[in-house]
Structure 1
Amino acid sequence: MAGKIPRSFIDDLLARTDIVDLIDGKVGLKKAGKDYQACCPFHNEKSPSFTVSQDKQFYHCFGCGAHGNAISFMMEFEKLEFVDAIEELAGMLNLDVPRENASNQGPQVSTEQKRSDYELMMHVAKFYQHQLKHHAKSSQVIEYLKGRGLSGETAKQFMIGYAPSEWDSVCKTFAKNQDSKKQLLELKLASEKTAGRQFDFFRDRLMFPIRDKRGRVIAFGGRVMNSDDNGPKYLNSPETRIFHKGFELYGLYEAKQANKKLDQILVVEGYMDVVALAEKGINYAVAALGTATTPEHIHTLFRTTDRIICCYDGDRAGRDAAWRALENALPYLNHGKALEFVFLPDGEDPDSLVQKEGREAFELRYDDATDFSAYLFDRLAQEINLTTDAGKSKLLQQALPLIEKVPSDFYQENLLEKLARLIGRTRAQLQKKINTPKQQQGLAKKFKVTPMRRAIGLLLQHPELATEVPFQPELGQMDVPGIKLFIQLQQSALNKQITTAQLLEQFRETPEYAPLAKLATWQHQVNSESLVGEFKSTFNFIEDQCLNLRLESLLIKEKTQGLSKAEKQEYSLLTLALKGK
């Protein structure tokens, strides 16, 4: 995998991207004073409450609270991950995304190389589609699809094709020179046992192109159509420089194309399950690619929908898959997120069952879905005797670490309540054993504007204020809440011309991001004429607070240990400074 994207490149990307042009091209903005407005693209509203600031390069919705910079907008609007959003913005500007070097990394892949890879994969997908209709065996393949209940429309929607039975159809078509031969091998479209003699990786299989969140073909899944064939029933592309199976979900792109808003997503186990369900009108199913449902899968799904329904076989393997999905989902179960499980009758899978009973009957099964909290305790209690103290102790030992992972305090309390009933304790007793910090909840629930928050908020929204007060990094050593963050922001703002969007981006994925994002949208009610004066007076108050704290610590040390010569001099200077104020 490539290294991290350099911070300098992200800053430069945000500097080059005009957020007004970006959002206007996707939503449509109207001038409103010095800012721009539109109806929010993230929730339904009749009058515009979505504001975009050109000065700050920042957007904010006063209705639903959505906010962020150009990268955040691409992540939310296009449902992209952080790296994908950066690559998309970079592509608009024809920039290569650099990566920081690391000793364990291979050569860097350029944007041009990736673009070539995606183009080749799409050409091969269309080649397979063409073979489905024109190969000598096409009538047999089409009859197989019809026998599985699939229409031509569904086959087209999912770009289903056929990999010819010949050994080298893809190689003959696309291996024009040494570079293209190498590319076919690197993308696992061809194999080579003897140097220089290539053959197709997929042969005589029904082909399912795997598309990423942006619709680009990144891999393939191939299924045999004759149970007597040698080899595995399903053959998936190995990982390549553009395909990492733990991050991708088959059918997610198609589901987003078919639904303006995904109220729920059904997670199933195979390609045929996804397409068979879509054929019956259940066009919101996805499948993991030959792996368990990973944390990255869950993160992607919960960015797309609030309700995940995992639909597995009722056998041991299906229940094990459900448990792995549950374990990986716990850290993502925030307020309003639902995770449920549907287990099918023995011998049935979604494909076979939806063929038998149709869409309505199949969707009725969701009414009996098992909530994640019920499944968690059902699973843990399977091999534990809860009539004994030893069994209750074991359940407590196994359940608490899992409950601690859940970020929603509501869900945590619900889980603790259920656990308390099972082991004969009270929730209050168990609550003491939980150690889940909620650093940002206080700020989210009650936003009190302290002098430090005022200073940070003004500096964040108006980085040019950094030059209006002296830069004193030594203040960062004081034990004053927020002072280190203030110094860090001031230092970043002093180094170069920077926007609110760029400043905030430096704190993404840190505990400070949420409170800073709130301060970035805070309505400070300070007019432009009074801005510098307000900032200076607030800074002076904080500076006095730091100096008084240092003076107090020196006084205590003088009485207990005595002061050194340098400390005595510092004490005198501090006294004079504070008197002068």
Structure 2
Amino acid sequence: MAFDPAFLDELRARLPIASVVGRRTKLARSGRNWKACCPFHGEKTPSFYVYDDHFHCFGCGVHGDVISFVMQSEGRSFPEAVEQLAGEAGLEMPRQDPRSEARSREAQSIGDVLEAAQKHYHQALFRPEGRQALDYLRGRSLNDETIVRFGLGWAGEGRGALLSALRSSGITAGQLVQAGLMRGDESGAPRGDLFFSRVMFPIRDRRGKIISFGGRTLGDAQPKYVNGPETPLFSKRRALYNLDGARAALRDPSCDLIVVEGYMDVIALAQAGFEGAVAPLGTAMGTEQLELLWREASHPVLCLDGDAAGARAALRVAELALPLLQPERSLRFCRLDPGDDPDSLIRRDGPQAMRRILDSATPLVEELYAQMSVGVGTDSPEQRAALRKRLEAAAGLIADRDLASEYRRALLDRYFAASRRQSPRRGFSGSPSRPARPAVRRSRSEGGEESGALERLRLLTALVLSHPALLGEVEDHYGRMALPQPLDDLRDAVLDWFATLTPGCDPDAATLLAALDREGMGDTARLLVAGRAGLRQSGEQGGLFAMEPIQQWWHFYGLVNLPDFVREVERDMHAALADPALEGLPEALLGRLRALERLRRGESQDDET
């Protein structure tokens, strides 16, 4: 039984060979690849290696792809192995009929036509009619070795030149239409060459076979770049330019997989020594292309222009990638200066400048926060709440729950840190802050305003430690406060823990303290809790400890940040009163209003502490 090559390629793409081999023998990482003791002959020292698309044993010589591994390890015939793997990959087995056999022959025929066309285009580049194109490529600093390596060519002036050149090889106009090299009218009759007066770039699949072409005009004609149409061999969203070359280069563990915007960027990078470069084919990056990237590298680098369009592209790819993320695969981003691309940067400043750009690549979480927060105001609670909801929604797109929790925590860490940076960090007496002593036990000997403010910050933290359910209401305010050490580190650990909780659960103090023990902060937390308990038993703070914990928290928060607290409460109250959908003030806002009134009346003599 003969199978369509496209079906077999899809089968191999959906089932990474390492996952199939790993079911029969224990694999260990060896650079970008895997190694194991050979399952086909007894050995104590591993000589069986699994690469991205094949395996090879240097001991017994056995080798092959994922299909042949199933055949040899389980004694199955080729059709049986294909059927088994298709079931695992969720692919429907193709029914063998005359039409499928005809499609297989058609695909093979198209491949032959494309190879013949590439040979013609390449030869034309070095003939007199291709002089202008050759001068253009050399003017872009490409040497002849690079031109030959990438198979660049020239499509002549005449609209029937390609058919005239290939007719002697038995190639017909109908075949050129099927291959996407000639236009067809509504009835399918040929109407002329698709590519003319253009520099030609062969597009190859991951195995190195030509599947289409791209063409660049030398004049002012639009569009500047044209790609071939969809054919049985070619789909723009399932291909990347130079994927075959990048795959070969990535066998070197030090090589980066770099995604750039265009053909010339890829070629310039390869000539400069960055051979793991690929580019999408005139369309925005899609999920199929991301999967192609992750098959070759766990953390590809997207190198985008530094202008507004590059920022939009970065955000789109970041959001597209979120549902597909796994702990072992992500993305990195690097940004060029506006007006630059890898080609122009390398020609002007050399490969070392490109190396610096790549070395500065940031992880996906950094890029995501930067793009989602750019231009977003955070002056009002509404703006901050909107940004926070957007960040949490982005983290919620990640299918892996543990990874989603980590992203939520990382994004909110940046959110709180940015909020704290927006306000000048002040000390307890109004002067610029300085590191506090590491001790957290209560001291009566310090005296003064600074000691009182520090005590209030300790009590705020102790309240959160004793009643972590408070975080559901105070997390934003608590996260933006300026705290001394070690309260600052303790607060970060508490918020990290809170970010890992399932929404709607009831957090308890014992679980929080256990988590802080694992971070080495449990003793510090217990001292704070014990200090608050001592105050309560001694009767200090008057009747304050008879209040609900949330009222206590807002009271101490207001004492430390009274001007800001007044502005926040008044702003939120006016916003609530202006909302016709609300029938009354929210309970949380009422609680803050009561705390503010108590502070204004001066009913508590907190300065005694």
TM-score for both structures, normalised by structure 1? 0.58
- State whether structure 2 residue 500 is matched by structure 1 residue 431: yes
- State whether structure 2 residue 126 is matched by structure 1 residue 117: no
Aligned letter for 1:57? E
Residue 171 of structure 1 aligns to a residue in which SS? helix
C-alpha offsets along residues 259-298 of structure 1, whole Å, 9 cap, x if unaligned?
Answer: 4246421110000111111111111111000111111111
Partner Cα distance (1:5, 1:140) in 2: 42
- State whether structure 2 residue 215 is matched by structure 1 residue 222: yes
Partner Cα distance (2:320, 2:199) in 1: 32
Distance change (3 Å), C-alpha of 1:420 and 1:189 = same
2:392 alignment partner in structure 1: 400
Among residues 220, 225, 232, which one is paired with 1:234 in the alignment?
225
Residue 321 of structure 1 aligns to a residue in which SS? helix
Distance change (3 Å), C-alpha of 1:419 and 1:111 = same
Distance change (3 Å), C-alpha of 1:340 and 1:128 = same
- State whether structure 2 residue 48 is matched by structure 1 residue 57: no
Residue 365 of structure 1 aligns to a residue in which SS? helix
Residue 49 of structure 2 aligns to a residue in which SS? coil
Distance change (3 Å), C-alpha of 1:340 and 1:30 = closer
Among residues 211, 228, 243, which one is paired with 2:234 in the alignment?
243
Q: How does 1:124-135 map to 2 (within 5 A)?
A: 124-134=117-127
Partner Cα distance (2:269, 2:373) in 1: 33
Range moving further from structure 2, 341-350 or 259-268: 259-268
- State whether structure 2 residue 366 is matched by structure 1 residue 374: yes
Among residues 257, 275, 297, which one is paired with 2:248 in the alignment?
257
How many pairs were matched up? 385
Query: Is residue 205–residue 224 contact of structure 1 (8 Å, CA) maintained in 2?
Result: yes
Residue 257 of structure 1 aligns to a residue in which SS? helix
Partner Cα distance (1:366, 1:373) in 2: 17
How large is the RMSD of aligned CA atoms in angstroms? 4.4
Residue 390 of structure 1 aligns to a residue in which SS? helix
Aligned letter for 1:334? Q
Q: How does 1:65-464 map to 2 (within 5 A)?
A: 98=94, 110-134=103-127, 136-175=128-167, 180-192=172-184, 198-226=191-219, 228=220, 230-261=221-252, 263-406=255-398, 407=400, 409-410=402-403, 412-420=405-413, 422=415, 424=476, 426-432=495-501
C-alpha offsets along residues 328-353 of structure 1, whole Å, 9 cap, x if unaligned?
Answer: 22233322334121111121111101
Range moving further from structure 2, 334-343 or 144-153: 334-343
C-alpha offsets along residues 414-463 of structure 1, whole Å, 9 cap, x if unaligned?
Answer: 4424315525263444434569xxxxxxxxxxxxxxxxxxxxxxxxxxxx
Distance change (3 Å), C-alpha of 1:180 and 1:146 = same
C-alpha offsets along residues 278-326 of structure 1, whole Å, 9 cap, x if unaligned?
Answer: 1111111110001111111111111101221111111111111111211
C-alpha offsets along residues 378-412 of structure 1, whole Å, 9 cap, x if unaligned?
Answer: 11112432342212321232222321233373574
Query: Is residue 264–residue 306 contact of structure 1 (8 Å, CA) maintained in 2?
Result: no
1:32 alignment partner in structure 2: 41
Distance change (3 Å), C-alpha of 1:352 and 1:58 = farther
Range moving further from structure 2, 287-296 or 47-56: 47-56
Distance change (3 Å), C-alpha of 1:30 and 1:335 = closer
Partner Cα distance (2:83, 2:240) in 1: 22
Partner Cα distance (1:409, 1:119) in 2: 49
Partner Cα distance (2:83, 2:72) in 1: 17
Range moving further from structure 2, 251-260 or 351-360: 251-260
Partner Cα distance (1:297, 1:244) in 2: 11
Query: Is residue 276–residue 354 contact of structure 1 (8 Å, CA) maintained in 2?
Result: yes
C-alpha offsets along residues 532-552 of structure 1, whole Å, 9 cap, x if unaligned?
Answer: xxxxxxxxxxxxxxxxxxxxx
- Residue 112 of structure 1 and its aligned partner are, at CA, apart by 1.4
Partner Cα distance (1:260, 1:160) in 2: 25
Partner Cα distance (2:345, 2:269) in 1: 10
Distance change (3 Å), C-alpha of 1:124 and 1:427 = same
Query: Is residue 71–residue 82 contact of structure 1 (8 Å, CA) maintained in 2?
Result: no
Q: Quick one: percent identity of the two aligned structures?
A: 29
The structure with the largest alpha-carbon Rg is: 2
Partner Cα distance (1:74, 1:313) in 2: 41
Partner Cα distance (1:216, 1:112) in 2: 16
1:570 alignment partner in structure 2: none
Partner Cα distance (1:279, 1:73) in 2: 43
Distance change (3 Å), C-alpha of 1:74 and 1:320 = farther
Q: How does 1:462-501 map to 2 (within 5 A)?
A: none
Query: Is residue 302–residue 332 contact of structure 1 (8 Å, CA) maintained in 2?
Result: no
- Residue 125 of structure 1 and its aligned partner are, at CA, apart by 1.0
Partner Cα distance (2:299, 2:366) in 1: 16
Partner Cα distance (1:278, 1:390) in 2: 49
Partner Cα distance (2:118, 2:376) in 1: 51
Partner Cα distance (2:96, 2:388) in 1: 44
Query: Is residue 30–residue 36 contact of structure 1 (8 Å, CA) maintained in 2?
Result: no
Structure 2 gaps, min length 5: 13-20, 22-34, 64-68, 417-475, 480-494, 505-609
Aligned letter for 1:208? F
Partner Cα distance (2:261, 2:72) in 1: 48
1:486 alignment partner in structure 2: none
C-alpha offsets along residues 127-153 of structure 1, whole Å, 9 cap, x if unaligned?
Answer: 11111112x322222211110000111
Query: Is residue 335–residue 357 contact of structure 2 (8 Å, CA) maintained in 1?
Result: no
Distance change (3 Å), C-alpha of 1:403 and 1:124 = same
Partner Cα distance (1:331, 1:174) in 2: 47
Residue 341 of structure 1 aligns to a residue in which SS? strand
Partner Cα distance (1:72, 1:193) in 2: 40
TM-score for both structures, normalised by structure 2? 0.55
Partner Cα distance (1:197, 1:337) in 2: 46
Distance change (3 Å), C-alpha of 1:126 and 1:421 = closer
Partner Cα distance (1:190, 1:166) in 2: 12
Distance change (3 Å), C-alpha of 1:181 and 1:55 = closer
Distance change (3 Å), C-alpha of 1:235 and 1:421 = closer
Aligned letter for 1:122? E
Aligned letter for 1:355? R
Distance change (3 Å), C-alpha of 1:5 and 1:414 = closer
C-alpha offsets along residues 451-479 of structure 1, whole Å, 9 cap, x if unaligned?
Answer: xxxxxxxxxxxxxxxxxxxxxxxxxxxxx
